Amino acid sequence: MGCGGELAGLISLFFSRHQGGQILRVSTALSCLLGLPLRVQKIRAGRSTPGLRPQHLSGLEMIRDLCDGQLEGAEIGSTEITFTPEKIKGGVHTADTKTAGSVCLLMQVSMPCVLFAACPSELRLKGGTNAEMAPQIDYTAMVFKPIVEKFGFTFNCDIKMRGYYPKGGGEVIVRMSPVKQLSPINLTDRGCVTKIYGRAFVAGVLPFKVAKDMAAAAVRCIRKEIRDLYVNIQPVQEPKDQAFGNGNGIIIIAETSTGCLFAGSSLGKRGVNADKVGIEAAEMLLANLRHGGAVDEYLQDQLIIFMALASGISRIKTGPVTLHTQTAIHFAEQLAKAKFTVKKSEDEEDASKDAYIIECQGIGMTNPNL
Catalytic residues: 324
Other CB atoms closer than 10 Å to residue 253's CB: what's the count?
Answer: 21
Helix (H, G, I), strand (E, B), or coil: what is residue 175? strand
Three-state DSSP class for residue 102:
strand
Neighbouring C-beta atoms of residue 9, cutoff 10 Å: 12
Does 298 appear as a known binding residue? yes
Angle formed by the axes of helices 208-223 and 274-290, to 10°?
A: 40
Q: What is the 3-state secondary structure (H, E, C) of 272-334?
A: CCHHHHHHHHHHHHHHHHHCCCCCCCCCHHHHHHHHHHCCCEEEEEECCCCHHHHHHHHHHHH
Q: Known binder of ligand: residue 230?
A: no
300 is in an annotated binding site: yes
3-state secondary structure of 34: helix
Residue 347, annotated as binding a ligand: no
Q: What is residue 158's DSSP assignment? A: E
Q: Are 107 and 158 a contacting pair, CB within 8 Å?
A: no
309 labelled as ligand-binding? no
41: annotated binding-site residue?
Answer: no
Q: What 3-state class would DSSP assign to 143?
A: helix
Alpha helices by DSSP H, listed for 96-178, are 103-114, 137-139, 145-148
Outline where DSSP puts E strands in 41-132: 70-72, 81-84, 91-96, 121-127
Measure the CA dihedral 295/280/278/18, to 10°. Answer: 70
Annotated binding site: 108, 298-302
Annotated binding site for ATP: 108, 298-302
